[in-house]
Structure 1
């Protein structure tokens, strides 16, 4: 389910390459749009992967940029791969657009660095805990009641990327100790969830650290997820109550990398974090 070859990343790469070709041809988006009888917004949406272009659209752009036959075929092959459907697209009608984009990027990421001050990271949630998280958001964000199950299923399917045998995603997590103490769904749900954290923390590709309540808080920020992608610039995913956004500016992304390093430095090490989680399980009995 979490196969490599994400069409989301392919679309981004295609858009990035088309933009590079336009700039090499010394054309503005408005000029290209005028030549092809398109709107400037259409050119922008293709280059930023906000829309999936038709093959005829890509061919028209390549003709305008006078691309040679060899490179043209490479880009048409890239377009073909980008047009394929990812598993997460089955959930598009019930998930926010930003979240489905995240799922597509995660499939090809090699490393995810996640700071969570409020809830257990989605990649580590049990099904029952995920259900409580989704239910808590539903009355506020007001998505359809029928979408609760789809959102939980998508969270569960998402976790295959840290379990796959072929190059599983490396996941580094720092979470605030309050996450372990905040009861979602009652004692039984919390015991199972914390037990899962103990179990997965022993996997070689997963590192879980807890920032204790009595430690200094080095970074005053909400949750963030920093993805390292092969052959593509890093991306930071920021989720708010009603929407999400991706940070791709190199200097800003580097700032988040420094922030995560600070959080790791202040948090308990992996072994001490595991012991604290085990001790907290006892508090939920």
Structure 2
């Protein structure tokens, strides 16, 4: 087949998400990804579409595979299962590495679903090594009402909370994320997305200060509720606030007809044990691979 390659456009986002969803359906019999995630990623500040993205198209114009590079350090490559085994992944990984070198990056990382045997084999064959693990966790949406630390109340996210929630989230993630995201980037990939659900995103308040928050997104093709971010201010940690925030979100998800609360956590945060103590269990996992350039 005569495949062609070109930069991605925002108009390609639904077709690109369809590739991601088709793989999730094949590997796990369920779609977990959020449809507007691709568009949000393509609009990140460090992405120049003409330079940092590629889609592979068929003669009919269908998108068979895609790739992007973010800042020369992070990347993603996805091939539709209908076009697996034709060398498209190999071609795009090679492009990713070349583009990362153009960014003067010394290394580049890519996350691969642990059910993706072909993707794992490809990266291993090119010398990629394990950097970190991501786990998709789940918990029921029923249970008792949240128990709060003294002086703390919970309520749904309001528009005026945006800057305060941003600060709590960024402060909480500073210990492990490679860079502090500007407000515009954080908002564009969270509260400004069409999938953001304020009713399922509790904010913890002590006095007139935000001390914790959950950011939840809708998964239209899944029975799950999804927590994208959970953060607690450092001086309120160890007091049961994370459990209370998750419990509040879970109960609200249940009222909206969701069956399970889910969230991803990264081994770099060291939070897996905490989530397990909160009653969450691992559903599936992915691995972050990195290579030196």
Scaled to the shorter chain, the TM-score interval is under 0.3
| TM-score, normalization by structure 1 | 0.28
Between the two structures, name the one with larger relative contact order (CA 8 Å, sep ≥ 6): 2
- Flag the structure with higher strand content: 2
| TM-score, normalization by structure 2 | 0.27
- Flag the structure with higher helix content: 1
